[in-house]
Structure 1
Amino acid sequence: MLDSQHQHTAKAISRLCGWLYFAAWSLSFYPQPILNCQRRTTDGLTPDFPLLNVFGFTCYTISTAIFLYSPVVREQYAARHPVSPEPTVRFNDLAFGLHAMIMCIVVYSQFWPKLWGWKQTLDVRRHANRLTLGLLWGGLVAIGVTVTIVLAQSKHGSSLDAKSWAWIDVVYSLTYVKLLLTVFKYVPQAVANYRRKSTSGWSITQQLLDLTGGVLSLTQLVIDSAMQDDWSGLFGNPVKLGLANISMLFDIVFIIQHYVLYGPVEDVAKETKYEEPSHGMRDERRPLLVGRGSAA
């Protein structure tokens, strides 16, 4: 256990990391809709990503709110984690989740061009694939089954007993659904980039900010667990741990695709259909490994 002086310093660093990751992850939701507006199309972006994000961040927001403000769930968490009874969930987690959910709804709405005053194009696919729809329905079923089990336990007065099925398990079901959707939400876009041999239409700035947020989020979680001298806190907040690692893994994949493997060379001609980027702004789809003189 850290002494009082180190505890104070560690707590300050934890809060700083929390708000910095909140800022990085929150800002990461803006480059994609801005890029869509500049191009006046969602061509190159799969609808699966924002759709899974809407459902996933809804689960995330609800679960963090319950962990923060439900005395029943907090008591059950303390009963299951007697060494570190305080959940490693902070207000910035809730603020981030709510903001992310709203921004994902905005991005998904851009697949309906008429809502944004854009021309309808045949290149835009707004229907999610069967795997995505299966994941959505599977998540809803899993949450419904967990709620049913807990309600059945409540008839016997045991739903408040943390040693059996309890309301905290419903919260955990929300976090695991979010975690599952995070595993799969990047796959359709990564596959689409691979098939097109291009990252055109997919914001790399979004991934750079997401990678930064993942590192800071994981750092905060490690610091919080170290202050409690109980590393089970890492697993007491599985969604935060999983989100950081999974997001960072796919961020690296997209960064490699953008800067190393592809570059939108074959998509440059297609950009004549859209508005040219404003003067003074870097076209983020140009890979860094290609020099200015060779861009032509």
Structure 2
Amino acid sequence: MGFLELLSGFFGLAYFTAWSISFYPQGILNYRRKSTSGTVVDFHLINILGFTAYFASNVAFYYSSVIRAQYAARYKGLTPTASFSDITFAFHGILASVVTTSQYLFPRLWGFTPSLGNRPSRAILGVIYCSLLFIAVVVTIVMASPNHGSTDDLAVTSWVWLDVIYAVSYVKLVVTLIKYTPQVLFNYRNRSTKGWSILMILLDFSGGILSIAQQGIDSYIQRDWSGITGNPVKFALGNVSIIYDLIFIVQHYVLYRDSNAKQNEYDPLLASDEERR
């Protein structure tokens, strides 16, 4: 195994660790405050759908011989860049999101005081229902195609099972594009990020950088950038997350800095950070 392969593996482990840990600060902060005030359930609820889609698509890319053969037919014999760390990360994301979402939907079970952000918005529920409908439509189209199981040249031009996996993976992309928006707007309306864990954002930002770096290395090793175009969700996931993370960082450390001055009273995880500022 060469240096680049080792570096790719290290980056994979590093982003898996950063992103996995990032699921915990918000839940811990909620638990210590005995409240979810300052945040909305939309982010965590739609994360369940997003990571379920991400898990399913990566399992297919990694384990399914049919999907891998159809991918190779479309992309000049290359293999998908999905890794085992993607699968374990997605599965962990599902579990962590379910636990955190339960703090909002069942606050009394956790001993929390109910807050305004505990009910999902109609917009987020609409996205969830439309995403499921979209997948159902694509599955129907593929099943109607006589070549849906082809793994040769027909897989290039026909509707095949690979297209279903792409449909599922695009759900994750759509979720990532919108899931942060309700919280960004909530912070904007309140002129504060109190209750929203900035530590979660910093970890997410680090994971996004490392994820993009790993995929770039993997594509370079194969000497073909279709490693990115063939799995655009993983690449876009890192980029979109970084953009939103930067917005939250600006909100917390610049725009609403004064209103967050006593954040450490509620988030012991950030106490040392607040003391340094």
1:255 to 246, 249, 253: 249
Give the structure 2 partner of residue 197 of structure 1: 191
- Give the C-alpha shift of residue 134 in structure 1: 1.4
Count of residue pairs the alignment pairs up:
272
Aligned partner of 2:82 in structure 1 is 89
**Aligned-residue offset at 1:124:** 3.4
Specify the code of the residue in structure 2 equivalent to 1:98: F
In the alignment, does 2:177 pair up with 1:183? yes
Q: Larger Cα Rg: Structure 1 or Structure 2?
A: 1
Residue 208 (1) aligns with residue 188 (2): no
**What is the alpha-carbon distance in structure 1 between the residues aligned to residue 148 and residue 56 of structure 2?**
23
Change (3 A) 1:165 1:254: same
1:17 paired with 2:11, answer yes
Instruction: Name the structure 2 match of 1:34.
Output: 28
**CA contact 2:193–2:260 (8 Å) conserved in 1:** no
Per residue, is there more helix in 1 or in 2?
2
| Letter aligned with residue 11 of structure 2 | C
2:92 is aligned with 1:99 = yes
Q: Does 1:145 align with 2:145?
A: no
CA offset at residue 78 of structure 1? 0.5
Q: CA deviation at 1:117?
A: 2.5
Cα pair 2:199 2:270 within 8 Å, conserved: no
Whether 2:64 is the aligned partner of 1:66: answer no
Letter matched to residue 113 of structure 1:
P
**CA–CA distance in structure 1, aligned partners of residues 26 and 273 of structure 2:** 12
Q: Indicate the residue corresponding to 1:246 in structure 2.
A: 240
Equivalence for 1:3: none
Q: Measured at CA, do residues 285 and 125 of structure 1 come closer, stay the same or move farther in structure 2, by a change above 3 Å?
A: farther
For 2:118, what is the secondary structure of its paired residue?
coil
Amino acid at match of 2:83: R
CA contact (8 A) 1:55 1:136 kept: yes
**Are 1:127 and 2:100 an aligned pair?**
no
Q: What's the secondary structure of 2:82's corresponding residue?
A: coil
Structure 2: state its 5+ residue gaps. none
TM-score (norm 1): 0.86
Q: CA RMSD in A?
A: 2.2
Is contact 2:11-2:210 (8 Å) kept? yes
Aligned partner of 1:47 among 41, 51, 57: 41
Shift of 1:157: 4.3
Matched, 1:109 2:84: no
Q: What amino acid is aligned across from residue 76 of structure 2 in structure 1?
A: P
Deviations 1:151-170 (A, max 9, x none): 111xx344424121000111
- 2: distance between equivalents of 1:266 and 1:214? 25
- 1-side partners of 2:148 and 2:42: how far apart? 39
SS at structure 1 position matched to 2:2: helix
Asked whether 1:173 is paired with 2:171, we answer: no
CA distance in 1, matches of 2:182, 2:206: 22
> Displacement of 1:131 after TM fit?
1.4
Identical aligned residues as a percent: 44
How much has 1:100 moved relative to structure 2?
0.7
Give the Cα separation in 2 of the matches to 1:239 and 1:193.
27
SS at match of 1:125: helix
Query: What is the CA–CA distance in structure 2 between the aligned matches of 1:285 and 1:184, rounded to whole Å?
Result: 29
Post-superposition shift, 1:138?
1.1
Which secondary structure does the structure 2 equivalent of 1:162 belong to? helix
Q: Could you list the per-position Cα deviations for residues 177-210 of structure 1 after superposition, in whole angstroms to 9, with x for gaps in the alignment?
A: 1101111000000000011000011010000000
8 Å Cα contact 1:198-1:267 kept in structure 2: no
Q: Which runs of 5+ in 1 are unaligned?
A: 1-6, 290-296
User: What code does the residue aligned with 1:181 have?
Assistant: V
Q: What is the identity, as a one-letter code, of the residue corresponding to 1:209?
A: L
Tell me: CA distance 1:287–1:64, structure 2 relative to 1, closer, same or farther (3 Å).
Answer: farther
